[in-house]
Amino acid sequence: MKVFSVSQITRYIRSLLESDLELSDIWISGEVTNASTSSAGHSYFTLRDEVNQIECVKFRDKQSSLLSDGSSILLHGRISIYETRGSLQCYVDMVQEQGLGRQQLAFEELKLKLEAEGLFDSSRKRSIPLFPKKLVAITSETGAVWQDIKNVITRRYPLLELILIPCQVQGINAVSSILTAFEKVKYMQNIDTIILARGGGAADELEAFNDESLIRAIYSCKIPVISAIGHESDTTLSDLVADMRAPTPSVAAEIAVPSIQELYSTITTTRRSLSTIMEKEIKYIREQIKRSARRLIYQTPNIDMLRQQVDEIITRNKRTAIGIIQIQQEKLKGAESHLAALDPTSILKRGYAIVTKSIDNKVIKKTDDANVQDHIEIHLSDGILQGIITKKS
């Protein structure tokens, strides 16, 4: 019995494949998936139909742009084996584009349908809370995605309560698993944000995130959803319907929470700015008070001076009043002297008398003012004498 080494058998199989005229000059049609480009510019992809698939490689040339996920192509090449991995693959030398493949066509049709219904409208998308208290991550509990999210949030915002709802993110049960996770969120209290995340993968590995039932579940979710599915170049319908799309799970975590260090820095800067503003304002107010005080000093009356002026006015008025009183007193004395000189009593004291009729008390100034037998009264300085006129001469 002959025993082969692995290298010997793979080399033998390769020689068989390359010696087959049909397999060394073959045309194959199918849909491109899992397309990638190496740093050297070589294209690696899978060509598939409804049932099977084959790995392909096309070395660097201008046709590499036709090899994108979902494209339906017709290729020419040869079938051989890659000895290092022992895998069958097609070495492609020419590609012709045939349009969208079945999977990509279904994707585009569903995208147009949901877009027409308004599920992707930016106007309906909600903003992500700035300071969340509780966040739910829906992703696989194994692998780097969950660890990346935890590491970023722990570093940036340790105040947050982070909850994982584990689910399958690829395979036939992925859709139902993710839908179950969204159902669980409905019964949780005070959830601020949801991160739906999956690491990079081939296009067919992201199919669950293009499922219509999942898209509608994200759309009807009452909590803002951040989608971080696959690589930055991958776009799923979950990305389109989510409130925000992140290129990677780590970026999603950064979007979901603020940086506590940046908050501290902002608070410190704001405090300093406010202190500077307050110091300037206080200085300005103090200057205003000083200026107002100086104006008040100039505008406040000099009480001592006014008192002295009042004293001077009182003294001056007093002297004026005394002078007026003295003048009036002198006038009064002159009037009294004049009145005294005119006083009949004074005249009577000098020996004169006033004669009046008794009947009507009229003064008899002439002899014609009285008749014989008239009763008269003679007024002297010390009394009155009564008599009768007996004779006129």
45 and 158 co-located in one domain: no
What is the sign of the dihedral through the CA atoms of 208, 214, 219 and 221?
Answer: negative
Q: 166 and 120, same structural domain?
A: yes
Last-in-domain residue among 233, 256, 279: 256
**193 within domain boundaries:** yes
Q: Report the percent of the chain where pLDDT is more than 90.
A: 26
> Sorting pLDDT into bands at 50, 70 and 90, what band is 73?
confident
Which residue would you say has higher pLDDT here, 188 or 363? 188
Compute the distance between CA of residue 219 and CA of residue 124 in angstroms, rounded to an integer: 9
Q: Which of 137, 251, 121, 263 is nearest to 192 (CA)?
A: 137
- pLDDT at residue number 218: 93
Residue range(s) defining the domain that contains residue 61: 6-100
The answer for 232, left when phi > 0, alpha when psi is -120 to 50, beta otherwise, is: alpha
Identity of the highest mean pLDDT range in 250-259, 340-349, 359-368:
250-259
Question: What's the chain's average pLDDT?
Answer: 85
CA angle 44, 47, 50 (to 5 degrees): 155
82, pLDDT greater than 60: yes
pLDDT tens digits for 226-240? 999 877 777 889 999
Nearest to 93 by CA among 81, 83, 78, 73: 78
> How far apart are the C-alpha atoms of 151 and 249, rounded to whole Å?
11
Regarding whether 204 and 153 lie in a shared domain, the answer is yes
Do 15 and 84 sit in the same domain of this protein? Answer: yes
Contact present, 255 and 192 (Cβ < 8 Å): no
**Does residue 135 share a domain with residue 13?**
no
Count CA within 13 A, CB hemisphere, residue 163.
18
Q: Domain boundary residue among 30, 65, 100?
A: 100
Residue 316 forms part of a structural domain: no
Question: 86 and 110 share a domain?
Answer: no
Q: Is 18 left (phi over 0), alpha (psi -120 to 50) or beta?
A: alpha
> Would strands 87-100 and 53-58 be described as parallel, antiparallel, or unpaired?
parallel
- Domain final position from 100, 116, 137: 100
Q: Does any domain span residue 32?
A: yes
Q: What is the count of structural domains for the chain?
A: 3
Interval 348-384: pLDDT, tens: 777 778 888 888 888 887 888 788 888 888 888 788 8
Residues 232, 242: Cα–Cα separation, whole Å? 15
pLDDT tens by residue, 88-142: 999 998 887 776 566 776 787 888 888 888 999 989 899 999 999 999 999 999 8
- The verdict on 91 and 113 lying in the same domain is no
Same domain, 149 and 249: yes
Q: How far is CA 326 from CA 158, 316, 317, 335, 338, in A?
A: 103, 15, 14, 14, 18
Q: Are 379 and 348 in contact (CB under 8 A)?
A: yes
Residues 54, 166 share a domain: no
**pTM of model > 0.85:** no
- With bands split at pLDDT 50, 70 and 90, how would you rate the model's confidence at 329? confident
> Do 220 and 353 have their domain in common?
no
pLDDT at 217: 93
Is residue 12 situated within a structural domain? Answer: yes
Asked whether residue 79 falls in the same domain as residue 151, the answer is no
Q: Is the per-residue pLDDT at 18 higher than 80? A: yes
* pLDDT of 64: 66
| Structural contact between residues 209 and 203, judged by C-beta atoms closer than 8 angstroms | no
Q: Which two tokens stand for residue 107?
A: 């994707």
Backbone angles phi, psi at 295, to 5 degrees: -65, -40
Is 100 within 8 Å of 86 (Cβ atoms)?
no
Residue 264, in any domain of the structure: no
C-alpha 177/C-alpha 188 separation (Å) is: 17
